[in-house]
Structure 1
Amino acid sequence: MTDAVALLGILWIGLTLYTVLGGADFGAGVWHLVTGRKPGGPYDPARERDLLEHTIGPVWEANHVWLIFVITVFWTAFPSAFGAFAATMYIPLTIAALGIIGRGAAFAFRKATDVGWQFKAYGLAFGISSVLTPFVLGMIAGGVASGRVPPVIGAGDIIWAWTNPTSIYTGLLAVGSCAYLAAVYLSRDAEREGEPALAEAFRRRALGTGIGLGVVAFAGLAILRTDAPQLVHGITHRGLPIVLLSLVCGAVSLILLARRRLAAARVVAAATVGTLLWGWGAAQYPILLYPDLTIDRAAAYPTVLRTTLGVIAFSAVLLVPSIAWLLGMFQRREPAGE
């Protein structure tokens, strides 16, 4: 394995972590947006929002560490590919950045106000940003996967590169994946917090969203066949084993949800989305940008690659235990009376 391939693998691990952790946070915002306003069922909608905010509050900003990590490794290890990517995708990248900032500001300001209309406005802004941001990030991924980011700076269509049929499809897939992960995670969190009605509500949402996501995923293959044939070829050849694994994980996660095995469903749901991402990576390997920019051609100088690997290894000693401790600490149920 070359240093360039190793760094790409590390980058993809970071992207996977951002997808299954940060994606669930975005999904919580999606459910925050669609939650009812008035009590009228087995639980109070206000309690649902409290659970959503309690679940994501301690870790939502920490998850953006992985996005920053991915961007940093991308431009350091593969500068020519990053330059072409950023030059073509600067509009959706800016929209996504504004969405992340707006989402964070709205979440914080909502906690700091007791004025009714401001409270509602910040909640609405938080929810809309939680839908918009993963949708745009998914559109960016679709543009890359469909070969609309040429390896030459300034050669790409800065509008069609991210508004094409494949990008719309992957944007919807991204939002659906976020909502699915969030519903699965929240069903387990509600169960752990002693909220059986909320746990059941999120379990049903997870089942419905998971089935809908599967339908969208299969229906979108018709779009990919005509709009991104090289991606379909990769998925049905090199990436096929991983894509099939994702399908199996998806089916198992739905079975676990149906049987109310919420803790296990949480792990398998994350594996479903994560393996789908790796299936895309395998389908496109060793191409970074179509038609012919390979990993080796896009890689930085060997000295830069080795130094980057060393810095990542050193940083991982600090970062990984810290993130694991943070996540683990807030997964433990507080003793009664605290």
Structure 2
Amino acid sequence: MIADLVAVVMLLAVTAYACAGGTDYGAGFWDLTAGGAERGKRPRWLIDHAMAPVWEVNNVWLIFALIIMWTGFPVLFQTVFTAMWLPLALAALGMVLRGAGFALRKPSSRLARRRLYGAAFAIASVLTPFFLGVAVGAIASGRIAPGTEASADAWATPASLLFGLLTVAGTALLGAVFLTADAARFDAPDLVGYFRFRALLSLVAVVLIAVGVLLVTRGDAPHVWHGLTHGAGLALAVVSAVFFAATGLLVLRGEARWARFSAVGTVAAAVFAWGLAQRPYLIPTSLTVADAAGDPQTLTWLSVVSLVALLLVAPAVFLLYWMDTHGELESLTESDLRRTGPTRGDTAEGD
């Protein structure tokens, strides 16, 4: 019972990171595709201002999930990080380069350095969620098990690669929706159209890749497929689909503020659907929650510490999110929004 409770807490932490961290990764994706220095100046200004207050705190959820994983389920931690050390090491490297690039880009006085740091931030914002998604795909498909040695066969499979692409598409959707709302809050109508168009593109990409993931999952991950088509897993998958449809409708109607909630609901419900679809396994079909759990006394103390941490940290983090999304923190200045020249495609996409 206590092991199941800790597993749910770990899934909650993963969900929080997928939503909060995913939004930041999505902003980095659109930074990468914004174009050259002149064309991408205004979108990148908005991305910098939108991310600056919260980008560091989003990693709290990842750290929380990892602590629960190695403390509460040491066999799971050992199995995952042994069999897939390469994609996870690349994801960790991406996190470091991404943070360094974002922190150093704005204060750099030389254009060449700003471009270098900006490229590191943008490229890492795509590669990191991709490799994290690849690892999730490998776990879901049951390619790894306790004792599995590191090998590309464990993670370089169609199912895992499609999971990675779906993760990137999901972060791009979150980023575009939130940036559309930020553009409206900062009274930048050209950027509203700019990111609204990209949100619609992301919706299409998510649909296409999700269909591919489901087709591959049926044959490559039969246990997860069964869980997604029955019981609680199916119910949450339907909830995710409803939130997804609502996101598309709200974006089309220009209601980006409300689309943020439905987009987060889409990702959160999808992550929970995946987690419940794997029951009672942490790694289908070789490692159950009970088999992976650590000492009962350790799990009890971990539950107590997790509860205290959530009571102390969660209110502060959510207050920060609320203040950021309600314009209570730093706002764009007139010089930030001043045009230096037309941005190709902004007018057409804004219409």
Alignment length, in residue pairs?
A: 331
CA distance in 2, matches of 1:31, 1:3: 42
Contact map agreement 1:249 1:271 (CA 8 A) in 2: yes
1:242 maps onto 2:236 in alignment: yes
Deviations 1:72-119 (A, max 9, x none): 001111111211111111111111110000111111221231112111
Correspondence for 1:133 = 128
Q: Please give the alpha-carbon distance, in whole angstroms, between the structure 2 residues aligned to 1:198 and 1:127.
A: 19
The answer to whether the 8 Å contact 1:139/1:162 transfers is yes
Give yes or no for the alignment of 1:91 onto 2:91.
no
Could you tell me which amino acid in structure 2 is paired with residue 329 of structure 1?
M
1:38, 1:308 → 2: CA distance?
48
1:275 paired residue among 269, 279, 299 = 269
CA shift at 1:38, angstroms?
Answer: 6.1
Residue 20 of structure 2 aligns with which residue?
21
Q: TM-score, normalised by structure 2?
A: 0.90
Q: What does residue 257 of structure 1 align with? A: 251
Q: Distance in 2 between matches of 1:110 and 1:265?
A: 30
Gaps of 5+ in 1: none
The equivalent position to 1:188 in structure 2, one of 174, 181, 194, is 181
The C-alpha deviation readout for 1:113-171, integer Å capped at 9, x for no partner, is: 11121111111111110000000000000000000120x23x24521212111110000
SS at match of 1:112: coil
Q: Contact between 1:190 and 1:199, CA under 8 Å: does it hold in 2?
A: yes
Q: Secondary structure of 2:282's match?
A: strand
Q: Distance in 2 between matches of 1:281 and 1:333?
A: 34
Structure with larger RCO (C-alpha < 8 A, sep 6+) = 2
Aligned to 1:148, the other structure's residue is in SS state coil
Give the alignment of 1:126-275 within 5 angstroms.
126-150=121-145, 152-153=146-147, 155-238=148-231, 239-275=233-269
1:62 counterpart SS class: coil
Letter in 2 for 1:262: A
Structure 1: 4+ residue segments shifted above 4 A: 334-338
Task: Give CA deviations for 1:170-222 in whole Å, capped at 9, x if unaligned.
Answer: 00000000000000011011101111111121112111211221121013322
What TM-score comes out, normalization by structure 1 length? 0.94
Q: Distance in 2 between matches of 1:221 and 1:326?
A: 36
Q: How far is the alpha carbon of 1:26 from its aligned partner? A: 0.6
Q: Equivalents in 2 of 1:317, 1:157: separation in Å?
A: 38
The corresponding residue for 1:307 is: 301
How far is the alpha carbon of 1:336 from its aligned partner? 9.6
Identity of aligned residues (%): 38
Contact 2:142 2:286 in 1 (8 A): no
User: Contact 2:196–2:251 at 8 Å: present in 1 too?
Assistant: yes
* C-alpha contact (below 8 Å) 1:148/1:156 kept by paired residues: no
Give the structure 2 partner of residue 122 of structure 1.
117
